[in-house]
Amino acid sequence: MFDDAMNASKVGFQKALDHMKSEFSKLQIGRASSGLVDNLNVDMYGSSQPLKAVASISVPDATTLQIQPWDKGALRAIEKAIVDSNTGLNPVNTGVAIMINMPPMTEERRAEVAKQVRVLSEDAKIAIRNTRQEAIAEFKKMKDSNEMTEDDLRSSEKKLQESVDSFNKLVEESSKSKEHDIMTV
């Protein structure tokens, strides 16, 4: 029972870390990345679909994204989805594909994106703390139902905290690395 609670908390910690990294990939940092537009919703055929489901997205060079729909009739819908997304990207419809040139980042924009990175990393730490609280509550239930002793409870909380500390360190490292990427011209 203890192992189940501990494993569930580690899965929760990993989800928080993965979510943060996923959000990092969506940040515009002056380099082309398919993560910027992958999950934009495109209204086509009477339903909303993620862009990656209706087109191939490639990165021909460091500052250009190329979106080639499988159905040429989707070009206008994709272009509209990009413009409506408020990402600040300007799509160019070539009649065959959509090209997006990444605008160079200003110092002000770099600082703004770095701030977003710090917010996302803090959100990940909060998710990790919430998962820890859930695990501690589970441990206390086990102690109350005499499934573990007071010593086992203290030992479990200590092991859990070690796991929390290691995941928080991973969050910090990822955050610092992303901030460094952003601030590097």
pLDDT, tens digit, 9 for 90 and up, residues 44-100: 888 888 888 888 888 888 788 898 998 888 888 888 888 887 777 788 888 889 898
Q: State in words which class domain 34-101 has.
A: alpha beta
Mean pLDDT of 114-140: 92
**Cβ atoms within 10 Å of 151's Cβ, excluding its own:** 8
- CB of 89 within 8 A of CB of 100? yes
In this prediction, residue 170 carries a pLDDT of 93
In this prediction, residue 50 carries a pLDDT of 87
Which residues contact residue 8 at a Cβ distance below 8 angstroms, ignoring those fewer than 6 apart? 135
2-25+106-183 carries CATH number 1.10.1270.20: no
pLDDT band at 163 (very low <50, low <70, confident <90, very high): very high
- Ranking 24-33, 58-67, 155-164, 175-184 by mean pLDDT, the lowest is 24-33
pLDDT, tens digit, 9 for 90 and up, residues 51-62: 888 888 888 887
* Strand-pair category, 41-44 with 64-69: unpaired
pLDDT score of 104 more than 90: no
Closest by CA to 36, choosing from 65, 13, 74, is 65
pLDDT, tens digit, 9 for 90 and up, residues 2-44: 678 888 899 999 999 999 988 887 776 666 677 777 778 888 8
In this prediction, residue 185 carries a pLDDT of 60
Q: Could you state, in order of their start, the residue ranges of all structural domains in the chain?
A: 2-25+106-183, 34-101
In this prediction, residue 100 carries a pLDDT of 87
Q: Which pTM was predicted?
A: 0.70
